[in-house]
Amino acid sequence: MLNVLVVGAGIAGLSAAVSLRRAGHYVHVYERSALNNEIGAAINVPPNATRFLLAWGLDPVRWRFVTSRGIRYLDPFTLEPLRNVVPPKGGPRAFGGTDLFYAHRVDLHDALKWLATKEDGPGAPVTIHLSTHIVAYDSSKPSIFLQGGQEITGDIVIAADGVHSLASDVILGRKNFPVPPVHSNSCYRFLIPAAALEEDPDTRFWVEDCNGWARLVPHGPTKRRIVSYPCRNNTIFNFVGVFYDKNMDSGGAENWQASVDISQVLDRYSDFHPKLLGVIRKAKEAKRYPLLYRHPLPTMCKGRMALAGDAAHPMLPHHGQGGAQGLEDGLAIGIVLHGASSPSEIEKRLGIYDQVRCKRASAIQILSNAGLEQFDLVQHELRQYLEPDKIPRSMQDTYKFNFGFDIVRATLKAMQDHNPAFRLPADFFECEVVGVPGQ
């Protein structure tokens, strides 16, 4: 068994903790916060992640997830369906083999924390250390340094320390500074209770036939769009307003806690349909934060230290893949490290993790710089990470690329190429992993 140090108890860190526990290792997670003020926004949990979350025993009903029925594209000025944007038939399940869910971020986080720390189940329960500020890393030992000066050494360090990652600087050997994205650089997020919309005749339309439908209201010429979908058993609507602000400070830091009055949101979208503005008025407040892009890393590993989640590949919200890529990272880490013991073998296994994850995560990072229907804007940059015939050239191609990837199968194949006798523990999954249609 390895002694694994995971830095960060976010979605990627907890996914890694669950996977490593099931792979038979001792896992300690070090989290800067007290986990008593988790960020209240919603998140997509798409098929490329749900296939293994369900197999781990996550129950979407227990955790109040909403099953997606698809996306409706609406004209911002008429709220009529956009005729020139038609989502692929069959939705996410047709491409991924299982459902896409909308979840309150806190609910997903609680589900992962439960999977990591529950007393029953395979492996030793994960230990989470709260209010622990990590200020430095040593990738060679490997070790982490706490704010008070204490050094903690393990067999391996998994750094899931978020968009402001110190660990990524260690892996890269230099700062990976953020750059302002070209197409959208700012975002509003806010939540509205369904009951508040239902009780007002002027906003009730937003709740009618809402179960599982996302609405996307884009205006390409002005680089503005509003996305909304239900979560928490359809009792809350999540809203994301994406836009381009030419006055934004490109050197700013991502900040989830920048509260703004809802009047600022209304001003930004003042020419959108009055009925949509009436819906937005039901929000009490909004959070604004900059969307800062970081160029993809050439590697996610160094020595016996690896990155996961936003620490490795922060991405814009256009494809709803940020959380899913962190979940994929976590799953892969556990698989590649099953049975590893010696330092040299750990480094080889992390090389396999890098092989499985780095190019895929980088490609989705680039794809996420534009909307699902704007695939043509990122074609050139994708050539560095994908073969020409693998580059998405339509919404249908993008669905296939995002949802139709089986991280379990890909990681197992890479491990069996390394060692044909490699097998996962029988209890690594609670049930069969749903595959991709046609594979």
Report domain extents, the chain: 3-57+107-177+296-418
Q: Beta strand pairing status for 3-7 and 26-30?
A: parallel
Annotated catalytic residue within 21, 64, 93, 189: 189
Which residue is associated with the tokens 């296994």?
349
Annotated catalytic residue within 26, 188, 229, 293: 229
Q: What is the DSSP string of 236-286?
A: EEEEEEEE--TTS-TT----TT-EE-HHHHHHHTTTS-HHHHHHHTT-S-E
Residues 256, 287: Cα–Cα separation, whole Å: 6
Digit-coded pLDDT (tens) for 60-85: 999 999 999 988 999 999 999 987 67
pLDDT at 100: 96
Residues 84, 87: Cα–Cα separation, whole Å: 10
**192-197-200-204 Cα dihedral, nearest 10 degrees:** 150
Consecutive H or E run containing 6: strand 3-7
For residue 189, indicate whether it is catalytic: yes
The domain defined by 3-57+107-177+296-418 folds into: FAD/NAD(P)-binding domain (3.50.50)
pLDDT at 255: 53
Q: For the beta carbon of residue 213, count every other beta carbon within 10 angstroms.
A: 16
Residues 364, 352: Cα–Cα separation, whole Å: 19
pLDDT at 332: 99
Q: Which residues pair with 237 in a beta bridge?
A: 192, 230
Q: Which residues pair with 28 in a beta bridge?
A: 5, 127
pLDDT at 249: 58
Residues 316, 363: Cα–Cα separation, whole Å: 12
Residues 111, 182: Cα–Cα separation, whole Å: 35
pLDDT at 256: 52
Residue type at 349 in one-letter notation: R
Q: Are 45 and 53 in contact (CB under 8 A)?
A: yes
Consecutive H or E run containing 80: none
Q: Write the DSSP symbol of residue 326.
A: H
Q: What region, left, alpha or beta, does residue 395 occupy, with left being phi > 0 and alpha being psi -120 to 50 degrees?
A: alpha
Digit-by-digit pLDDT tens for the chain (439 residues) are 999 999 999 999 999 999 999 999 999 999 998 876 555 689 999 999 999 999 999 999 999 999 999 889 999 999 999 876 767 788 889 999 999 999 999 999 999 999 999 999 999 999 999 999 999 999 999 999 999 999 999 999 999 999 889 999 999 999 888 777 777 788 999 999 999 999 999 999 999 978 889 999 999 899 999 999 999 999 999 999 999 888 775 444 455 568 999 999 999 999 999 999 999 999 999 999 888 778 899 999 999 999 999 999 999 888 999 999 999 999 999 999 999 989 899 999 999 999 999 999 999 999 998 877 788 888 888 999 999 999 999 888 999 999 999 999 999 999 999 999 999 999 999 999 999 998 8
Q: Are 101 and 234 in contact (CB under 8 A)?
A: no
Residues 296, 430: Cα–Cα separation, whole Å: 34
The tally of CA atoms less than 13 A away on the side-chain side of residue 38 is: 17
Radius of gyration of the chain (CA): 21
Residues 439, 426: Cα–Cα separation, whole Å: 23
Classify 82 as helix, strand or coil: coil
Strand order in the sheet with 66-67: 42-45, 101-104, 66-67
The candidate with the shortest Cα–Cα distance to 159, out of 358, 302, 330, 308, is 308
Q: What's the burial of 148, exposed, middle or buried (CB within 10 Å: 0-12/13-18/19+)?
A: exposed
Residues 439, 433: Cα–Cα separation, whole Å: 13
The candidate with the shortest Cα–Cα distance to 330, out of 56, 43, 36, 37, is 56
Q: E-strand spans in 308-416?
A: none
Q: Are 210 and 102 in contact (CB under 8 A)?
A: no
Q: Which residues pair with 236 in a beta bridge?
A: 193, 231
CA distances from 45 to 49, 60, 107, 326, 344 (A): 6, 10, 12, 11, 35
For residue 229, indicate whether it is catalytic: yes
